[in-house]
Structure 1
Amino acid sequence: MKCTLGSQGRRLFWSIYGRYAWDEQQDPTRIYPPPAQIVTILAGRRIRHGARVLDAGCGTGNYARALAQAGYAVVAMDFAPGMLVKAQAKSAGPTARFALLAADLNAGITFPDGYFDHVMSISVLQTLVDPLAVLHEFRRVLKPGGTLILSLPKRNAAVLTQPLTQVIRGRVDQLQRRTPGKILLVVVKALADRYHRGARWTVADATAMLQAANFVPRSIEEGPQILAVALRSQE
C-alpha cells in the first residue's frame, strides 16, 4: 500500500507513533538491529571516538544515545516533534548527550559537504518520497571513505507482513489499565503496519540502490530487516 499522507499528516502520524508506540514496539516486534550492534559495526570500522555521526531519522533517540555513550559526537535528526520529545529525554547526563535537529530528510540535509564521518538511518528510507535522492544527500555529507549503515524493511518478511494487532495480542488489557490514552497504541500500530507495506527491498535491490548512489557496499545481511554497511566512494 502506498502511503498518501501529506507532509503535515506524516509529521502528525510519526509524532503520535513516537510518543505512544515506538519504544513499546521494540521488544515485541524485534525487527530493528539493537543499538549495541550499530556501535559494534562502528568499532569494527575503527572510527575514532569523537567522530561525527548523523542519525538520520533518529526516532526516539535509542541509537543516538548508544552512540553518544560510546564516545561519538552525534547529531540526531527527525521531523516528528513527538519523536524528538522522547529523544530529548534520552539526551540527558554527561555520557549520553547528543544534538537534536528538527528537519525533514525529504527537504535535504543542511550540513556542508563531507561534514560527517558516519551516517546511519534505521528503517527510514521506506517512509521517504525519493529514497535514492536522500542516499545522494547522505553521500554528500559524508567524508570520502565514510561509513553508511542502513536498516531496510525486507520484502516478504513475515514479521513485517503479519498485522501488528497480532503482535500486540494480549497487551490491549494491559494498555487500558495503564491509561486510556494508551489505547492509541493499538490504532497507531495498525496504521504503521499498513504504512510500512509500501517500500521494501531484497538484498539485490539494496545493493543496486547503494551502487546507484555511488556507495560501495561492504556487507548486506538479512535478518528481520536488511542491514547494509557501505562506504562513500572516493570519487
Structure 2
Amino acid sequence: MLKKNCNYSVYLVLDPVLTEKMGMVKTAELAIEGGATIVQLRAPQWKKRRRYECALALKDVLHAYHVPLIIDDDLDIALACNADGVHVGQKDLPVHIVRKFLGPDKIVGLSINNEQQMLAVDPNVVDYVGVGPVFSTTTKPDAEAAIGIDGLAKLMKSCPVPAVAIGGIKNHHIAEIATTGVQGIAVVSAICGQNDPLGSARELSELWKHFHS
C-alpha cells in the first residue's frame, strides 16, 4: 500500500470499551462500509496476546477493503502481524526508532499537541500527525489539554506532513475543522459504541466530503 495515496479523511480509532457489545472487528468492518478510510487499533487495557489476535483479525478484514491498519504504540505487534503502520505519542518509542524497525514503506504517525512538537516533526520519518485533542475527550484519560479550533488552525500553519484532527470530534464540528488545513478527522466515540457504526461513519464521511473541498 503506497503511503502517498493514503486517505486520512475518516480515521477510526477503535476503543475496546465502547465496542465491547459489538466487537472491534465488526465495528471496524461496518465503519469501513460506511466510509472510514483508515483504522487504528488502540487497546492499552488488553494483554499483548489479545491485542495481537485482534490485530490479525482486523488485518484480514481490512485487507479485503484495501484499508490500512495502524497499531497504536505496539511496534512488536505491528511487526508480528505485518500491519500497515504504527502510531506513537510523545511519551512512546521515538519515531526514528519506529521507522528504523518498520522500514521505509510502512506508515508512521505521531501525536502533536503544541508548536514545539510540531516544529520537531521530520517529514523523512513521520508520514502523518494526529493533532489535538481539539476538544475535551473521555476516551483517552491521559490526553493533554484541549487546543480548540483556533489552536488547531495555528498548529497547521507549520505542519510539514498530512494531519488528522483528533479529540472529542462530533458531526457538528466538521465544518469548522475542515477549514484548518487538516486532511482528515480521527474519531473514537463518534463511531465506536454507536448503534449503527455504518451509518455514523457514512454521515461523517459525507460531511467531510461536503465541507473539505
TM-score above 0.5: no
Identify the structure with the greater helix proportion. 1
**Which TM-score band applies after superposition, normalised by the shorter structure?**
0.3 to 0.5
TM-score scaled by structure 2? Answer: 0.36
Identify the structure with the greater strand proportion. 1
TM-score scaled by structure 1? Answer: 0.33
Give the number of the structure whose alpha-carbon radius of gyration is greater: 1
Which structure has more relative contact order (CA 8 Å, sep 6+)? It is 2
